[in-house]
Structure 1
Amino acid sequence: MRHQLLIILIALFSASSFAQNAPTDTVYNPKIIYTGMPSTYEIAGIKVTGVPNYEDDIVIGYSGLNVGDFIEIPGNDITNAAKRFARQGLFSSIQIKVEKMYGDKVWLEFALKPQPRIAAINYHGTSGGERKDLEEKLQLMKGNQITPNIVNRAKQIIKAFYSQKGFGNADVRIEQTPDLSAPGEDIVDIYVNKNNKVKVHKIYIDGNEVLSDNAIQRTMKKTNEKGKLINLFRQKKFVESDFQDDLNRIIEKYNEKGYRDAKILSDSVVPYDDKTVDVYITLEEGKKYYISSIDWVGNTVYPSDFLDYVLDMKPGDVYNQKILEKRTDPNKGDDDNIPNIYQNQGYLFYQLIPIEKNVHGDSIALEMRMIEGPKATINNVIINGNDRLYEKVIRRELFVKPGELFNKQDLIRSAREIAQTGHFDPENMDIRPEPNAENGTVDIIFDLESKANDQIEVSFGWGQTGLIGKLALKFTNFSIKNLFNPGSYKGLIPQGEGQTFTISAQTNAKYYQSYAISFLDPWFGGKRPNSLSISAWYSRQTGINSSFYNRRWMNSGYGYGGMWGGYLGNDYYQSTIEDAYDPNKVLQMVGINVGIGKRLHWPDDAFTFQAEIGYQWYYLKNWDYLYYMNNGTSNSIVLGLTLARQSIDQPLYTRRGSIFSVNLQLTPPASLFSGKKDWEKLYKENTVESKKQLYRWIEYWKLRIKSRTYTPLTDPDGKWTLVLMTRADFGLLGSYNKWLKSPFETFYVGGDGMSGSYTYATETIGLRGYENGQFTPWTKEGYAYSRVGVELHFPFMLSASTTIYGLTFLEAGNAWTDVKSFSPFDLKRSAGAGVRIYLPMVGMMGIDWAYGFDTVFGRKGGSQFHFILGQEF
C-alpha cells in the first residue's frame, strides 16, 4: 500500500518549560519534546501546501481543525486530523507541521501530496472483447485519481468478472509506474492470468430419498459434472453465483412436489485438482404436504368458484408451491393468472396473499386473502426518450390512454406495438405504471431509447453475365406532407410521420436493369390505423447468346458439368463480353400496385385485412426461359386479399408470439370476355401466334398461407432467451381454364430464397440445403409448393446498434408442376446452422450452411452455403 501517513509535530520546549518560561519572541520550526507535559495552544493560522488543485478551505475542512480552535501539543488533536486526511484516500503523503509559535498561539502547515492520476491503462492477458467489458465495469479513465482503495476494488471486479466466465482461479496483479513525462501521473498495468477454467469434477448429494441424485442434478441447470454424456451441451464450468441459483432450484423442485420444508443443510466446494472442484450438498427433504381446503376471503368481483377454476388447484392435490406462485404472483405467473385477470379490469391496487391458515399433519389449509381495492384510472401517459417521431405517431399506437381504466393487457400490447415500429430499441424499453393510491389513478411511463432504422443497401452478386450491383434506400420515418417544406427536414429528407419510402435500382449494365419505388403510410389520414401502400417497378433483362454456351462447352470438353466449370476459365471475361449479350432475347415487365389495409377488432385486434389492386405488363421477345410463352405481350389485373394476424413481441430477435397470413390473388376470368375461342385448339397449336392469343390477358388464382410461431425455451423476459421458431407455409397457383395455365407468377423453389435477376417473373421460395431453383427447373415450373421447418435461435449480441444471433434448423419442402399433384407430406429434408446480423443502415444479413439429404431431379442436395439479405416471412 503506497499511502504514507507522516505527522511531524515540532515544538520548541516541553510543556513544563513553557509554563515556567513562556516565549516572548516568535519561534520558527519549534522542536517538540514528547516526554514533556502537553500544553494548550490556540491555532492562529493554517497553511496548505503540495496540493495546488484543491481549495484550501476544503482541505482544511477535511482535517477537522480550524483557526481559533484550542489544541494540545503534544496530544491527539493533530494525530486525529492526520487520520481524517487518511480516510479521504486522496493523499499519498500527509505531514502536519508546527510552522511557528508565539506565546500560546501556534501556526500549522498541512504539507500534502495528492494521489497520482492515471496517465494510461494497459491490459495484459485479456482479449479485445474482455478488455471492452472490463473498461465498462472498472470505469478507470485517463486523468482520474488512482488510490489503494480503487486498486483493491478493481482487483475484486476483475476476479469476479473472470469467475463468472468459469475462471475461478484467475490471478490479477495491478502495477503502477510513475510516468516520467508527466509528474504526478502513473501508468497502470493490469496483468491477468486466467489459468484454467474451473469445472465440476463430481457432485456429491446426501440426505435425499425422494429425488435421486440424477434427478437433482438435472434440476441444477448451470452446475454440471464434466464427462457425462447427458451434460454434453450443458455448462460444465463452475460459477459461484450459478451454483447458488442451482441450490434455490433444488428447493423449488422439492416445493413443487409438495415438500415445503425442504432445505439445504450445508454445501461446500472443495478443490479436486488445479482444474476441477468437487461439490458437496446435504439436504433435508422433510415430508410431503397436501391441500386440505382453499377458502377465498375478500373477493366481490369474481365468485369463489371462478377463482378456484383459475387457480387450478383443489383440495386433495399435492401442495405445489410453483403452481401456487404462477397463479397468484403477477410477476411470475401466466398471462391468465388471477392478478392479471383483476388488473385487466382496472384493479391495479389489487393484492392477493395466500396464507397457510392451518397446518395439521401432512395437510395444509389455504386461505386466499384478497384486497381488491378501487379501479385505477389512467391519469397521464408520459413518453420519454423520443427524438425521432412526432409524438402523435407514438401515441396513436398506444392502447392505454388518459381517462381510461388501467388494463395490463393493453399496456403489454402498447409495448409490443412500439417495438414493432422499429424506431426504438426493444431491449432498452422501460414501460411501467406509477400508481397513486391516494386518488386511485396511475401514470404510465414509457422510457424509450431511439435507434436509427433507415437502411442503405449496397450489394453485389455474380450472375451468368458478370457482376450485378444493387443500391436501395429505405427511409422508415418519412413524412410526405412535409415534402415541400424544406424547413422541416431532418437531414436530407422530411421525417417524423413514421411512413416508409423505398427506392431501389439493380443492374448488370446492358444485361439486366430493375428499378422500384414504394410508399407505405400505416395510418393513412392520421386518425385510423388504416394503411395505404403504393408501389411501382420496371425491369428489363436480356438472355444469353447460344454462342456463349457453345464456347463454354467446347473449352471445357466435359459436357454440361464442364460447361459450368468453364465459367471460371482464363477467357471467362473476354468471352462474356463477346458472346453473352443477345439483344434479340428480351423480357420487360412494368407493374403498379395500390393497397388499403385495416386493423380489425374481431376475432381480436391483432388481425389486419388488406386489399390491393395491381396491373402488370409483360413483353417477351425470343424468351426461351419460360416454358409456356416466349414471344408477345401479356397483361394482368390482379386483386389481392390478405388476412393476417401478428402478435410477436419484437421484429428483430422475436421471443414469443406468432405471425399468420392468408393471401388470395385473383385475376378476372379474361377468357370469358374474349369471345368464343377454342382454347384447347390454340393450346395444342403451340405456335407463336396461338400463344399470343392465349396469354394476351393472364388469368389465374393464387393462394398462399404462411405461419410462424415463437416459443421461449428460457426466461422470455431475459436478455439471452433461447427461442424455438416453427414455420409452415404452402402456395397454390391455379387456373380457371385448364388450357390457360399462367406462364407467370409461378414458384421458384430451392436455395436461399432471395429474388435474383434471373428468376423470370416468378416468386422465389427458399429451401436450404439445395441449389437455387433445384425443385423448379425449366419445364418443371412450380404451381404448388409446401415448406415446413423448425429453428432454434440463440442470441450473441442484442443492442440498439447491432443484433446478432445464431440458429440451427431442420427444414423440409417440395414443389409440384400442378395443383392436382400437390402432396404436402411428400417433402425433401435438410438441416443446418447459420447466423443473422442486423445493422440499422444495412438491414438483416446472414449466412447458412445446410445439408440436403434427398435427391431432386437426379441431384442430391448435399452441402450448400446460402447468403441471406433481408428478413423473410
Structure 2
Amino acid sequence: MAQEKVVNPIISYAGNPQTVVIGGITTSGVEGYDDYVLTGISGLTVGQEISLPGNEITEAVKRYWKHGLFSDVSIAADSIVGDKVYLHIYLKTRPRVSVINYIGLKKSERDDMDKKLGIIKGGQITPNMIDRAKTLAKKYFDDKGYNNAEISIRQRDDVANKNSVILDIDVDKKQKMKVRNIIIDGNNQLSDKKLKGGLFTKGAFKKIHEAGKFANFFKPKKYTPERWEEAKKNIITKYNEYGYRDAEILKDSVWNVDDKHVDIYIKLNEGKKYYIRNITWVGNTVYSTDYLSRLLDMKKGDVYNQTYLHKRLTEDEDAVGNAYWNNGYIFYSLDPAEVNIVGDSIDLEMRIYEGQQAHISHVRINGNDRLYENVVRRELRTKPGDLFSKEALQRSARELASMGYFDPEAVTPDVKQNYEDGTVDINWNLKQKGNDQVELSLGWGQTGIIGRVGLKLTNFSMANLFHKNGKRHGIMPIGDGETLQIGAQTNGTYYQSYNASYSTNWLGGKRPIQFSVGMYYSKQTDVSSRYYNQGYLQNYYNYYYGSGSYGYNNYENYYDPNTYVKMLGVNIGWGKRLRWPDDYFTLTMQLAYNRYMLKNWRYFLMRNGDANNINLSVSLNRSSTDNQLYPRRGSEFTASVTLTPPWSVFNNKDYKHLATDANSSTFEQEQQEKYKWIEYHKWKFQGRMFTALTSGQKCFVLMTRVEMGLLGHYNKYNKSPFETYYMGGDGMSGYSTGYAEETIGLRGYDNGSISQSAAAKAGVGSYNAYAYDRFSLELRYPFLLGNTTIYGLGFVEAGNSWYNTSDFNPFDMKRSAGIGIRINLPMVGLMGIDWAYGFDKVFTGTRWEKGGSNFHFILGQEF
C-alpha cells in the first residue's frame, strides 16, 4: 500500500509533537563543500528519530550559529512520507575578505597589522573578528605611544567577487603622546632627581622622562600604559635599594594636557629605612657559612638593599647561586626569609636547599644540517657525563655563537632537569645561517674600471674533496668548518692580483690546533715616461693628491710594460689554544716569504731589482666577545711581533755608505745590494672592549679601541722600505697604495694623508710611516639583529703616525668625529659608510689643511 506524501508540510506548534524518522537531508546555499561536511555540522543523521517540532532541530540550528561561518540558517521539512521526514537545510555563508585597505599607515605598520589583527585575505569575516581587530589595533598604537589613535573598520561589498567584501581599516594615529610633567608627592627621603634621574644618572623612570628638559635629550619620553606600569614597579625597587622595604604607591593618575602630552601624578608612602642586624645560614653543607657570607658581601649594619641582595644571590658572576650552579647543584634554591624585625633592624635567614649534584645525561643538537655534528660538539663545554656547570653552559653558548654558522641571537640552551634520576638534558636548538661569501664587484680606480671576484667558503672540507661520498653542497665539499678563500682583482692592463688561502681551527679534527697556508701574486704597471715628458705630470700630481681630476683616457695611451712592481708571497701558520692565563688566549705563529720585483718603479727608494723578505710572526690573542656580528660584552686583544733575520749583523756590508748618492752611476746597483734581504722587527698591539650600556638584546654598546704599531730596524742605516704604515681614511687597502705596506684607517682624513704628513714633517718624500697609534670611542645601537645585522654608530677618533720612531708621541693626535652605519649580510659580509669630520691639519701634497668633511666606505671585517 502506497504511503501518503505531504509536500512542504505545515508544522504546528499548538498540538502535540509528531515523532518521525529522518529519511534524508539536503543542503543548499553553500558552494565548494561536500554535503556530508555541511550536514555533519548539524549533528543530525539519516535514520535518527526526532520530534516535530522538537529540540533536535533547534539544537542543530544552534550548532550552525556556533560554528561562526554562517550568516543565515534555517531548517525546513521538504516532505513527510509516512513516518519519514525529508529535511532541507538552508545556509548562507558569511562573506570572505577579498581586499584589505590600510589608510593612514606606513608600510612597516601595515605589515605589523597584517600579522597582529588576525584578518587574512580569503578568510571569512565575522562581527567578533572586526571588534577584536579594533581592540588589537588600539593596543598596538597605544604601545607605540599613540594613545589617542582612532581606528575604524568599514565593510563594503566587492561587486567583482560574489559573497566577498572589502575592508577599509582607517587609522588616525593623532600625535604621539609624551610626558610633560612627572609630579611626585610624599618623597621626603629620596629627591625628585634621584627618582627621575639626571643628565648622567639613572632614576626609576627608565623609559619615561619629561619632555623639554635638556637632561632628558637622549632619553625616552614616550608615554604608554605599559611603560608607566613598569615605572611604578621601578619606583618601589629604587626605594628598596635604599632600605625602604615598606615603600608603597598610595595613588597615581595620568591625564591629557593637550594632544601631545600627558601629566603624571604619583603619591608615595616611603615608610622607614631598614638595616641588616643578623644574617644566618640554614641548610648549607657544601660550603661553609663563612665562605657564603664572604660571597654575599653584606653584613650587620648595612642598609637593607634588596636589589643588591638579589644580585649577590643570583646575578653577579661570583654570586652565591653560581657557586652552587657551577658545581653541579642545578636543583639548588635559596629563600632569603625575614625572620625578625625589631625597630629599623631586620634579621635574615638564608634558607638553602642544595639537592644533589647533577650530571649531564643527553646533549642534543637540533637545526644543524650542514656541519658534521662532531664539528659542533667539539666546541661545547657541556658533554654527557660531565658535572653540570652554568659557567660551562654560558661558555658553550658563546663558542657556538662565535662559530659563524648559526644565528648568534638565537643560540640559547634549553635545559631540562630530570628530577627522577637527578640528571640534566641540554638541547641546543640552533638556527643555521649562511656564512659563505661571494664577491662580484666593479669599481673605479686611478687607471679605470677595476673588477673583483672572490669566493670565501667557511664550511669547507678538505677531506671530502677526495671522497666521493662525503657531505657536499652542490659540487662543493662541506662539513668540517674549514675556510677556503680565493680571489682575483684586475683592471686588465695596469693591475692584476690573485690570492688563495686555506685554514682550519682543528688540524686533524682531534685537537684545537690552527693551521693555515696561503699565497698571493700581484703585478702593477705604471705609465710611461712619455706621459710625464708631454706635460701630464701636473695632471697626475693633482689627481693623486685630490686637487683635481682627469679621466681614464688620459692614461690608456701611456701603458708601459717595462715599468712595474711584482709581488709574490707564501705563508704557513700554526696556532694553539692556551689554558693560561685563561682559555680565551690563543698563540699563533706564521712563517712567510715575500718577494718584491721592481723595474723602473719610481715610488720606492728602490727602483730596480728584487727584494726578499722572510719573516716569522708570533701573536698572542685573547677574544671573549659574546657575539661576532654585534658584540655587547667582552674584549679582543692582539699583541704581535714580526721578525726578520738581522742580516746586517753578519753580512759585513757598509750600510752607512751604501746607496747614499742618488747621482752615482752605481746607485741602483748599490740599492739592489742593500735591499736584497729586507730586515726589520715589527711590533703591534690592538685592543677592543665592548660594554653594554643598557639591558636587553637591542642595547647601546660602547666600543673602546686602542691600537699602536712600530716598525723598527737592526741597523739605523738599513731601514726597511716595505711593511710600513699607510695611515688615514677608511683603512681599506686599494691596489694603488695597498702593496708592501699595512693600511690603518683614521676617519675624517683622506687615505694616506696622516702618514704622508708624518713624512712631510720629517722632510722626506714618502706616504708611509714607521710608527702609529689610534684611539676610538664608538657608541653603537642595533636596528636589526639576526642573520642580517644592521646597526648605527657615532664615534670620536684620534691618532697619528711618525716617520721616525723616536718621534713617537701618543699625545700628538689628529682628531675626528662622525656617524656611520654597518650592514652585515649573508653571502656578502660587512658593509658600511661613515661620515667623519677631521679637526686637524694634514699635508695634502701642496699645502697643510684641515681634514674636514669626508665619507668613507667599509667593505670587509673591521678591527
Summarize the Cα distance change of 1:559–1:588 in structure 2 as closer, same or farther, 3 Å threshold: closer
Corresponding residue for residue 525 of structure 1: 508
Of 789, 795, 809 in structure 1, the residue corresponding to residue 776 of structure 2 is 789
With over 3 angstroms needed to count, the CA separation of the structure-2 counterparts of 1:339 and 1:552, relative to structure 1, is: farther
Alignment of 1:691 with 2:668, yes or no, is no
Matches of 2:6 and 2:277, distance apart in 1? 91
Equivalent residue, structure 2, for 1:10: none
User: Are residues 283 and 701 of structure 1, via their aligned partners in 2, closer, same or farther at CA, if it must alter by over 3 Å?
Assistant: same
Give the alignment of 1:792-811 within 5 angstroms.
Answer: 792-800=779-787, 802-811=788-797
Q: 1:847 to 1:231 in 2, by over 3 A?
A: same
Give the whole-Å Cα distance in 2 for the aligned partners of 1:444 and 1:868: 40
- Match 1:430 to one of 405, 412, 427: 412
Q: Which moved more, 1:147-156 or 1:649-658?
A: 147-156
The alpha-carbon deviation at position 107 of structure 1 amounts to 4.8
Structure 2 counterpart of 1:746, one-letter code: T
Greater displacement, 25-34 / 350-359? 25-34
CA distance in 2, matches of 1:850, 1:551: 39
Q: Is the 8 A contact 2:22 2:49 kept in 1?
A: no
> Which residue among 164, 169, 173 is the counterpart of 1:185?
164
Partner of 2:400: 418
Q: Say if 1:522 and 1:531, in contact at 8 Å, map to a contact too.
A: yes
- Deviation string, structure 1 residues 391-421 (Cα, Å, up to 9, x no partner): 1110111111111111111111111111111
**Which one of 649, 657, 663 corresponds to residue 640 of structure 2?**
663
Q: Does structure 1 residue 264 correspond to structure 2 residue 249?
A: yes
* Cα distance between partner residues in 1 of 2:267 and 2:535: 76
- Determine the C-alpha separation between the residues in 1 that align with 2:767 and 2:538: 29
Quickly say closer, same or farther: Cα 1:214–1:84, change in 2 above 3 A.
farther
Alignment of 1:4-19 (within 5 A): none
Q: CA–CA distance in 2 between the matches of 1:311 and 1:158?
A: 47
Q: Work out the CA distance in 2 between the residues paired with 1:564 and 1:604.
A: 49
8 Å CA contact 2:105–2:171 kept in 1: the answer is yes
Aligned partner of 1:743 in structure 2 is 721
Structure 1 residue 484, shift from structure 2 partner: 3.0
| Separation of aligned partners in 2, 1:337 and 1:75 | 72
Bigger shift: residues 727-736 or 255-264: 255-264
Whether the 8 Å CA contact 1:553–1:563 is kept in 2: the answer is no
Say if 2:95 is the partner of 1:95.
no
Give the equivalent residue in structure 1 for 2:286.
Answer: 301
Q: Are residue 598 (structure 1) and residue 576 (structure 2) matched?
A: yes
What residue number does 2:210 align with?
225
Of 430-439 and 123-132, more deviation after overlay is shown by 123-132
Find the aligned partners of 1:163 and 1:551 in 2 and give their Cα distance: 73
Superposition RMSD in Å? 2.5
Change (3 A) 1:359 1:57: farther
**Which deviates further from its counterpart, 125-134 or 60-69?**
60-69
Q: Which of 595, 614, 627 is the equivalent residue of 2:592?
A: 614
- Could you list the runs of 5+ residues in structure 1 that have no partner in the other structure? 1-23
Write the distance in 2 (CA, Å) between the matches of 1:455 and 1:561. 34
Distance 1:189 1:284, change over 3 A: same
Superposed, which structure 2 residues align to 1:389-404 within 5 Å?
389-404=371-386
Please say if 1:677 is aligned against 2:653: yes
1:62-81 mapped onto 2 (5 Å cutoff): 62-63=41-42, 78-81=57-60
What CA deviation, in whole Å up to 9, does each residue of 1:412-443 have, x standing for no partner? Answer: 11111111111111122231211112111111
Match of 2:612 in 1: 635
Indicate the residue corresponding to 2:761 in structure 1. none
- TM-superposed deviation, 1:197: 1.4
Partners in 2 of 1:844 and 1:600 — Cα distance? Answer: 29
Among residues 463, 484, 491, which one is paired with 1:501 in the alignment?
A: 484
Distance 1:780 1:137, change over 3 A: same
Correspondence list, 1:126-165, <5 A:
126-165=105-144
| TM superposition score normalised by structure 1 | 0.91
Q: Check the 8 A contact 2:659/2:668 in 1, yes or no.
A: no
Change (3 A) 1:403 1:864: same
Alignment partner of 2:557: what SS? helix
Change over 3 Å in CA distance of 1:205–1:726 after alignment to 2: same
Deviation at 1:552, TM superposition (A): 7.7
- After TM superposition, the structure 1 stretch with the greater mean CA deviation from structure 2, 841-850 or 269-278, is 269-278
- Is residue 2:859 matched to residue 1:864? no
After superposition, the Cα gap between the structure-2 partners of 1:460 and 1:559, relative to the gap in structure 1 and judged at 3 Å, is: closer
Same amino acid, percent of matched pairs? 52
1:812 offset after TM fit, Å?
0.7
- Offset at residue 701 of structure 1 (A): 0.6
Residue 221 (structure 2) aligns with: 236
Matched ranges for 1:721-740 at <5 A: 721-740=699-718
- Please state how far the C-alpha of 1:194 moved relative to its aligned partner: 1.9
**2:682/2:709 contact within 8 Å kept:** yes
Q: Does the 8 Å contact 2:397/2:412 carry over to 1?
A: no
Quote the residue 2:820 is aligned against.
834
Provide the rounded CA distance (Å) in 1 between the counterparts of 2:688 and 2:210: 37
Which consecutive residues of structure 2, in runs of 5 or more, have no partner in the other structure? 198-203, 757-764
The answer to whether the 8 A contact 2:503-2:515 is kept is yes
For residues 31 and 191 of structure 1, what CA distance do their matches in structure 2 show?
Answer: 49
Q: Comparing 581-590 with 748-757, which one deviates more in the overlay?
A: 581-590
Cα pair distance change 1:871/1:37, threshold 3 Å: same
Structure 1 residue 563 displacement after superposition: 8.4
Which residue does 1:820 correspond to in 2? 806
SS in 1 for 2:833: strand
Which is further off, 546-555 or 209-218?
Answer: 546-555
Determine the C-alpha separation between the residues in 2 that align with 1:548 and 1:202.
Answer: 72
Q: Which amino acid aligns with 1:601?
A: R
8 Å contact kept, 1:804–1:836: yes
1:724-745 deviation per Cα after TM superposition (whole angstroms, max 9, x unaligned): 1111011111011111111100
| Residues 552 and 564, structure 1, Cα contact 8 Å, conserved in 2 | no
CA displacement at 1:649 relative to structure 2? 1.0
3-state SS, counterpart of residue 507 of structure 2: coil
- Residue type of the partner of 1:740? N
Paired AA for residue 829 in structure 2: G
Q: CA deviation at 1:124?
A: 2.5
Further displaced range: 497-506 or 226-235: 226-235
State which of 439, 463, 488 in structure 1 corresponds to 2:421: 439
Helix, strand or coil for the counterpart of 1:144?
A: coil
CA distance in 1, matches of 2:489, 2:371: 31
Residues 86-485 of structure 1: matches in 2 within 5 Å?
86-101=65-80, 107-218=86-197, 219-329=204-314, 333-485=315-467
Whole-Å Cα distance in 2 between the matches of residues 91 and 518 of structure 1? 68
Deviations 1:164-209 (A, max 9, x none): 2222222223333343443233333332222221222322222222
Distance in 2 (CA, whole Å) between partners of 1:631 and 1:596 is 34
- Report the counterpart of residue 766 of structure 2 in structure 1: 779
CA shift, 1:81, in A, is: 4.2
Structure 2 match to 1:589: 567
Change (3 A) 1:577 1:230: same
Counterpart of 1:97 in structure 2: which amino acid? A
Q: Any residues of structure 2 matched to 1:849-860 within 5 Å, and which? A: 849-857=835-843, 858-860=848-850
Q: Shift in Å at residue 71 of structure 1?
A: 6.2
**Number of residue-to-residue matches in the alignment:** 836
1:66–1:274 CA distance, 2 compared to 1 (3 A): farther
Letter in 2 for 1:680: K
Instruction: Look up the match of 1:9.
Output: none
Tell me the amino acid that sits aligned with residue 617 of structure 1: R
1:847 aligned onto 2:833: yes
Q: Is the 8 A contact 1:549 1:563 kept in 2?
A: no
| 1:377 CA drift (Å) | 0.6
